Amino acid sequence: MQGSHPSENGEHWMALEGGADGSLGDGPFTSRFIGIGASVPERRLTSDELMASTEHQTDIDLERLTGVRERRVVAEGEDSYTLALDAARDALARAGLAGEDLDVLIVSSISRYVGGLRMQLEPPLSLSLKEALGAHRAMSFDLSNACAGMMTGVFILNDLIRQGRARVGMVVSGEYISQLGVNAAREIRTIQSDQLASLTLGDAGAAAILERAPEGAPGIEVAGFTTLAERSRLCLAFPAKVGAGVSMYSDARTLQEVGIEDTVPLLREALDQAGLGFDEIDYFIPHQTSARAIEKGVKEFSESMGGAPKHVVVTVDEFGNTSSTTHFVALWKYLREGRFAKDDRVMLLSIASGLEVGIVIFKVDQLLERYGHGH
């Protein structure tokens, strides 16, 4: 074996990629986001409406319990593929690019529904998206990593761009997952149900385009990932017995508790690598599972880190948990609403089934101008 193990060069548990300071790995370049797109269906479903559809009387106050007031759900003709395609087109428009400019196309949907609730395993969704976007040059594939899918795609693409193996690439996902809530509503009886988390899900597509940043320009500062597989069986989803689509069974309480506990040292690791304190993060975008989980997580992280981020982004109230797209739907919303300043630093934190923990820290910078702000 040649060289020393990455952990010996700085003692880190996560697979880590550096950025502008070039402190990690051999990448001579920095990557940056240049387009964030999203597609949220028009149709809204409130938690009250969803709970009124349960087959059994439950007395669960879902909105109070999770903070999810409503979620978007697909209409006839919409599915994972159409959500992903619309988001991809939105991101390309924001970036001022065409599909043919893409070197890499990564699709990271957990749900792979095409033509309604037909789950397509082969060919990969990336094949159809590549064709529809005209991304003829792009190396394409699908990946699956639960709710950490898009973040995993960003991690991979960041690595490729940093080395110069790709100049521009897209990570895209379409999640038609409201059907899990429909299936859960048929079976759920009490607040203790292992399908409770399915009731928080909403549909959305999201896309992120990364490019090689000009020399000296800000971009992704640190990206890190790890899988704490001791927790791999806390949440399982597979084709439903009660109807079309998927059912998901999770020990949500344990997942939340261990997710927060296990993430603390990883968060510290990523911040240390970036040379930052938690209070130097301007916007913290965690995975959107429930308002309570976010509040609890931020409290524990802040106590452990000795400081809190300036803003915590919560979108679960209006979109629900949109799975792999959640960070980028939130980012898209805040970009459109002009919430960020040019120098703001954002941290995306993924805590997902697996147990996957992923972190991306970046500067907003030129993204603002692409949404009509920052001039």
Angle between helices 80-95 and 125-133 (to 10 degrees): 40
Q: Which of 107/329 has CB closer to other proteins?
A: 107
Q: Which is nearer to other proteins, 258 or 312 (CB)?
A: 258
Region for residue 365 given its phi and psi (left: phi exceeds 0; alpha: psi -120 to 50; beta: otherwise)? left
Q: What are phi and psi of 294, to 5 degrees?
A: -65, -45
Those residues whose C-beta lies under 8 Å from the C-beta of residue 249, and which sit 6 or more positions away, are 194, 195, 235, 236, 237
Match 């003709």 to its residue by tokens: 77
* Torsion sign over Cα 124, 127, 132, 135: positive
- Distance in Å, CB of 147 to other proteins, minimum: 8
Secondary structure letter of residue 213 according to DSSP:
P
- The residue type found at 115 is G
CB of 182 to other proteins, least distance (A): 12
In angstroms, what is the minimal distance from the CB of 49 to other proteins?
23
Nearest CA-CA partner of 74 in 241, 246, 322, 303: 322
Count CB-CB contacts under 10 A for residue 163: 14
Nearest 5°: CA angle at 266, between 260 and 271?
115
Measured from the CB atom, is 42 or 238 closer to other proteins?
Answer: 238
Q: At its nearest, how many Å lie between other proteins and the CB of residue 150?
A: 12
**Measured from the CB atom, is 32 or 370 closer to other proteins?**
32
Find the shortest distance in angstroms from Cβ 225 to other proteins: 5
Nearer to other proteins, 3 or 77 (CB): 3
Alpha-carbon gap, residue 274 to 361, rounded angstroms: 8
Pick between residue 119 and residue 312 the one whose CB is nearest to other proteins. Answer: 119
In the complex, what is the shortest distance from the CB of residue 120 to other proteins, in angstroms, rounded to a whole number? 5
Strand partners, 235: 250
Q: Which two tokens stand for residue 218?
A: 């800000």
Which phi and psi (to 5°) does residue 333 adopt?
Answer: -60, -45
- Min dist. Cβ of residue 232 to other proteins (A): 4
Tell the smallest beta-carbon distance from residue 375 to other proteins (Å). 36
Nearer Cβ to other proteins (62/266): 266
Which token pair is 48?
């009250």
Q: Which is nearer to other proteins, 106 or 285 (CB)?
A: 106
